[in-house]
A and B are shown apart, each in its own frame.
Chain A
Amino acid sequence: MRTLKFLLQKEFKQIVRNKAILRIIIIAPILQLLVLAFAVDYEIKNIKLFFVDQDKSHFSSLLFSQFDGSDYFFIENYSNDQNDAKEAIHQGECDLALIIEPNFEQHLYRDGTAAVQLIANAIDGTKAGLSSSYATAIIRSFNKTLIEQYSIRGNLIPDPEFHQIEPTYSYWYNPDLNYQAFMVPGILVLLVTMIGTFMSSMNIVREKELGTIEQINVTPIKKHYFIIGKTLPFWIIGLLEFGFGLTLAKIVFDIPMVGSLFTLFAFAGVYLFVVLGLGLLVSTLTDTQQQAMFISWFFLVIFILLGGLFTAIENMPLWAQRITFFNPVRYFIEVNRMVLLKGAGIADIAWHFIVMAIFILAVNSLAIFRYRKVS
């Protein structure tokens, strides 16, 4: 036990006296949370719309004012030639083009139906999907008012046999569709994961590379003491980081915290053992810091991109969804969102705890097995 105490003392001293690392520990979360949360804003606003009006009628100008008044759209350009719009999309000046066919109003009066065409620049798939969704919704509601207001005036009374289904809808847990409430809990996970993996994986390798590990190897320190001594400091730092990040999330972004913070920290504590175990495993597999960094980076990128932070897991093909079952980041992101936004309790996330326990066992026993007291 005394050995462990000395080991911990040594590690903490090494961490604290390294000004650069200390600075990174403090600055990284602030930077990441602030920059990421603002940068990763998929809340699509100011969609640049090219409005092509080949009709120039009363109806088309009404539709124009609908889009002009919407927060989602910004009318970048206006023309009566659809080739202008296609060219603008080609140049990347516009995201979406709305094309009103010639004789739009006349068709509506005479045939009862007319077409509006939407062309989206789909290089950014998400944006294209969302912006055309918004545009469709606006046109739909415009259509409704048109029917209500003009059918009587124009002596075109709706067919009494017409069956109408009116959907009403509501957004749960996040009625303002605040995108940051969705992103910030995920970014917190990123933060803890990155700091944890990099710090722990580089640490042992550094001793290897500088040769100081030899000195530890010749002491009677037991293998598991050494591992604990290398893990515990980063575990504490990781939890502090998490708390720090949560505080920032509350103060800066006013993220809802519906669930219990205790549950959240309990899960974070368990999760950190997985992350640190991974870092350890990497450090036992490598000889230089460069290698350690590359391998950590490699897995982190995969974990993060398959973690459901940026793109929803349920949209992935089945095989990719299966891979995510082995991704610890995925579980923590889910738990964070569930607890913070929906107020999920221990019972709701019991499964996540079990999976973490399995990961801890697997990763850490592999790391201890791989660690040899020889160089």
Chain B
Amino acid sequence: MKRFIAFVRKEFHHILRDWRTLIILFGMPIIQILLFGFAITNEIKDASIAILDQANDAHSKALINKILSTDYFKLEQYLSNQSQIEPVFRKGKVKEVIIFERDFSQKLDKEKISGIQLLADATDPNTATIILNYTQGIIAGYQADQNVLSRLPFNIQVQTEMFYNKELKGVYLFVPGLIAIILMLVSAMMTSISITKEKEFGTMEILLATPMRPGIIIIAKVIPYLLLSFINALIILTLGYFVFGVPVHGSITLLLFEMILFVLTVLSLGIFISTVTSSQQVALMASLMGLMLPTILLSGFIFPIENMPLLLQIISNIVPAKWFIIIIKNIMLKGTGLAIIWEETLIIFGFMIFFISLSVKNFKPRLA
């Protein structure tokens, strides 16, 4: 036991004396969550629009006023003729051009029906869709204002309610995802690299020549990382809770238990990577391509899995982070208990057993 503790202490020394890595290790999650918690929103605000007002009369002015008085849009410029539309779109800033015909008001007053042309820059299709929808909503509102006395029959009113996340904040998705990414980064990447480093430098041989059993050596190596990643996850949780009000509706004990389970799983994954690679560069690239990208892309962290083609949906099942994110989203945002997420928990547990047995099988106590 004394020897074991000495080993763990050695490992801590290795980590703690590298202050640059430490700063990044703890600074990264903090900066990321602050930055993205505040910066990433899906709400359309102040989208730049250009207006070609050929009518320039009471109705068009009032409607323009109404459009610009919302938070959604801000006026980039007035256009004076059709030929200016293409250049203004090409510059890239303007997302929508609104065109009023010359006889807009006359038609509206005399024929009771008038048209407006909306052009959207659809290089970003989703923004274009939402912007057009907002504009149509505002126009419909103006139409209602004009008809206070007369009413159209069969008028359906739509009331929209956003559950769980009224302001469409990105941070609700981001906190669970970031926890998974950080745990992955610290546990899997750092362990795989630190073990390969000992291999590359030949110090692994020295360690193996000690009377310690190889399994114990590995365990001693991962304990500090387990601790570090756990502290990191707690920092993210606390920041999410106090700065952004990301709630933890469910049981905290359950959440911590699931976090430990996931950390153990990715640690065993990191050990596995180190057993099959021989240089830090390869270990790094393998973790980047094999761990980070799938974790970011296929875990449902930013991108909804159900939108992906079937093949990717199937592949996403072997990404442990996917299950972990489902679990913490459920616990944090919805407050569900183990009764609903036991399957996902079991899957992660299965991953852990799988990686541990793979590493044990691959581990060579001798160097070639």
* Residues of A that sit less than 8 Å from B by CB: 18, 20-21, 24, 27-28, 31-32, 35-36, 38-46, 48, 89-92, 108, 112-130, 132-137, 139-140, 142-143, 146-147, 150-151, 154, 156, 158-175, 177-179, 181-182, 198, 202, 206, 285-291, 293-295, 297-298, 301-302, 305-306, 310-312, 314-317, 320, 323, 334, 337-338, 341-344, 348
Contacts and interface: CB of A to CB of B under 8 A. Distances in A.
Contacts of A40: 297, 302-303
Contacts of A297: 185
Given A159-B150, A162-B150, A172-B119, A124 B307 contact: no
A178 B122 CA distance: 9
Contact of A35 (B121, B123, B293): B293
Interface string B106-123: 001100111111111111
B308 A306 contact: no
Interface stretch (B3-11, B136-144, B205-213, B226-234): B136-144
A146 B122 contact: no
Nearest to A31: B289
Interface in B270-311: 279-282, 284-285, 288-289, 293, 297-298, 302-304, 306-309
A304 to B, nearest CB: 10
Given A119-B161, A171-B120, A334 B20 contact: no
Contacts of A316: 39-41
B65 interface: no
Given A48-B306, A112-B151, 5 more contacts: A125-B41, A167-B135, A174-B123, A302-B31, A344-B92
Nearest to B32: A301
B173 interface: yes
B164 A122 contact: yes
Interface in B66-102: 89-92, 95
Nearest to A289: B280
Contact of B39 (A295, A320, A337): A320
Given A21-B281, A156-B153, A310-B302, A163 B147 contact: yes
Contact of B126 (A42, A290, A337): A42
A119 B161 CA distance: 5
Contacts of B130: 129-130, 133
Contacts, number: 350
Contact of A312 (B18, B118, B124): B124
B90 A344 contact: yes
A317 B289 contact: no
B354 interface: no
Given A45-B307, A156-B154, A348-B91, A169 B132 contact: yes
Contacts of B117: 167-170
B221 interface: no
Contact of B154 (A36, A108, A135, A310): A108
Interface stretch (B42-50, B237-245, B261-269): B42-50
Interface in B129-179: 129-130, 132-133, 135-137, 139-140, 142-143, 146-147, 149-166, 168-170, 172-173
A108 B153 contact: yes
A20 B286 CA distance: 9
B338 interface: no
Given A108-B156, A311-B41, A338 B150 contact: no
19 contacts: A21-B282, A115-B156, A143-B155, A163-B108, A165-B113, A167-B117, A171-B122, A173-B122, A182-B123, A291-B18, A294-B21, A297-B185, A298-B24, A305-B32, A311-B41, A314-B47, A316-B41, A342-B89, A342-B123
A221 B284 CA distance: 30
Contacts of A146: 154, 156
A286 B149 CA distance: 73
A178 B157 contact: no
B268 to A, nearest CB: 20
